[in-house]
Amino acid sequence: MGLIAIETRLLLRSRLALLVLTLLIAVLALAVSNGRALLEDQIAARAAATAEVAEASAKLQGQLAKGVPPEEAVLLPMRVRTPIIAPLPPLMDASAGRAALEPSTATAGLRARADTMFHRTSLENPERLARGQLDLGFVVVVIAPLLLIALGAGLFTADRDSGAARLVLAQAGSVGALLVARSLPRLSLVILPVLFALLFLLLTGPDIPGRPAAALQWALIAMASLATWWAAVLLVNSQKITAETAALGLVGLWALLTLVMPALIAANAQLIHPAPSRFAEIAAARSAEINASTSWETDHPDLASGEVESRRASVARSIGINSKVEAAVAPVSARFAEVLAAQQALASRLAFLSPPLIASDAMAAASGTGLAASQAWRAAAAGHLADVKAKLGEVIAGDGQLTADRLAALPEFTPSQASAPPWPALAWLLAVAVAATLAAVRRYRAIRLD
């Protein structure tokens, strides 16, 4: 413990450590601010969508309570909209993940379709998705490793370059004791501020179900990721190279794993499993709409005699066209979904080549903003839309009259269950860290300073 205290005092007196700490605190403050702003925007968006649909629903219920003429009543089922609101991710202010890219609200009704109920999103730079925006996850994946490299590039190589290695080892007693004494303060200098920032978000943020458990998982992933980088620092320092070469090698490794590999993995997945053109889906929808309209006009050349019958025929026409468009688009959407699933499966397998990518995905999964949560939410929304349309279809097929009881009987959206904790990713990061550390220890034991 005495050696650790000495190394801690020496570290805190160095200008490099103070610079690293200052930079880290500044970046963490910005990350916390960005995360809190995103959380507030998401809460506001959900509240606005809920209020909008509630206002429309209240207006519809008021019409039902007052009573409407028969020619108006037959149109009411087409005006029904039920809200589909994604549950608020428990820790999106720590790792934004896909929260800033994916839609969080939608509505279900007879006019809605599964392929158009969400606004499509795209990302020009696949590497940006792996890193995310400037939040705590970005700090852990991108910035903190660079700070660890700055603190540890000359952990032992600098002493060997200056010829002081023999004296330092004599004072420490062994290489292992020296490395432990120098590693703990440097790791603490980077990890503790990150954990304090996470704790601040946890204590000052809203009360969201599952937030403490998500924070615990996130913290474990973050510490495992930084431990992996420190193991790489130890392994590089065990080589017979200069401190400058060690720094250059570590920065190159950081660039390869953090910047290059995610882009290569995404590009490889898209090349092996190219997605079909979205224009085919658009063309299928347009063609089906035109054909359905033409078919209806051919099959129903005469308009209904009365106003009520005419409007019921118009409602039936709209529903029929919508159903045929959905049927035409479904095969194209299914092919796109199959290719996307194949891309994601391949990318998930290749992601183990990049520990930063694994850590980023795992922290997003723990925060509820990962790919699995997004897909589950979309699937649940599509299922709810089908249920609502089926219930309203029964009304149309019957007397076509929407009553307050029938409106109240419409199903409510039930969010999907939370995704599984990212324990496999944590186990992989720990395995990489342990393997690199053991390799470094083996090399340190073989060091001869003769």
The answer, yes or no, to whether residue 305 has pLDDT greater than 90, is no
Q: Among the ranges 56-70, 154-168, 238-252, 426-440, which has the highest mean pLDDT value?
A: 426-440
Are 252 and 145 spatial neighbours (Cβ–Cβ below 8 Å)? no
pLDDT digits (tens, 9 = 90+) for 386-433: 888 888 888 877 777 787 888 888 888 888 777 788 999 999 999 999
Instruction: Please name the amino acid found at residue 443.
Output: R
pLDDT value of position 360: 93
pLDDT band at 123 (very low <50, low <70, confident <90, very high): very low
* Distance separating alpha carbons of residues 371 and 424, to the nearest angstrom: 16
The answer, yes or no, to whether residue 80 has pLDDT greater than 90, is no
- Stretch among 147-151, 344-348, 422-426 having the lowest mean pLDDT: 344-348
pLDDT value of position 167: 64
pLDDT value of position 119: 56
Mean pLDDT of 431-441: 92
* Distance separating alpha carbons of residues 94 and 92, to the nearest angstrom: 5
pLDDT value of position 168: 65
Mean pLDDT of 62-72: 75
Domain boundaries, the chain: 2-445
The answer, yes or no, to whether residue 21 has pLDDT greater than 70, is yes
Instruction: Please name the amino acid found at residue 40.
Output: E
pLDDT digits (tens, 9 = 90+) for 281-301: 566 556 655 555 555 444 444
pLDDT value of position 37: 92
Q: What backbone torsions phi and psi does residue 219 show, to the nearest 5 degrees?
A: -65, -40
pLDDT value of position 446: 73
Give, in order, the Cα–Cα distances in Å from 316 to each of 78, 295, 350, 387. 10, 13, 50, 18
* Distance separating alpha carbons of residues 442 and 65, to the nearest angstrom: 80
Give, in order, the Cα–Cα distances in Å from 73 to each of 65, 111, 248, 347, 403. 12, 17, 74, 52, 9
In percent, the amount of the chain with pLDDT more than 90 equals 34
- Across the chain, mean pLDDT equals 82
Angle formed at CA 192 by CA 190 and CA 196, multiple of 5 degrees? 125
Mean pLDDT of 251-262: 94
Give, in order, the Cα–Cα distances in Å from 282 to each of 34, 107, 132. 36, 21, 30
Are 156 and 238 spatial neighbours (Cβ–Cβ below 8 Å)? yes
- Stretch among 1-10, 69-78, 274-283, 296-305 having the lowest mean pLDDT: 296-305
* Distance separating alpha carbons of residues 179 and 441, to the nearest angstrom: 10
Q: In which region does residue 241 sit, left (phi positive, over 0), alpha (psi from -120 to 50) or beta (all else)? A: beta
In percent, the amount of the chain with pLDDT more than 70 equals 82
Instruction: Please name the amino acid found at residue 323.
Output: S
Give, in order, the Cα–Cα distances in Å from 400 to each of 75, 104, 173, 239. 8, 32, 88, 80
What single string gives the DSSP state of each residue in 8-55? HHHHHHSHHHHHHHHHHHHHHHHHHHHHHHHHHHHHHHHHHHHHHHHH
Are 234 and 157 spatial neighbours (Cβ–Cβ below 8 Å)? no
pLDDT band at 176 (very low <50, low <70, confident <90, very high): confident
Whole-model pTM: value is 0.85
106 strand-pairing partners = 84
Token representation of residue 133 = 């925006």
Give, in order, the Cα–Cα distances in Å from 31 to each of 146, 258, 391. 16, 19, 46
DSSP state of 154: T
Token representation of residue 387 = 């249920």
pLDDT value of position 126: 46
pLDDT value of position 278: 62
pLDDT band at 3 (very low <50, low <70, confident <90, very high): confident
* Distance separating alpha carbons of residues 341 and 273, to the nearest angstrom: 9
pLDDT digits (tens, 9 = 90+) for 313-339: 667 777 777 777 777 777 777 787 788
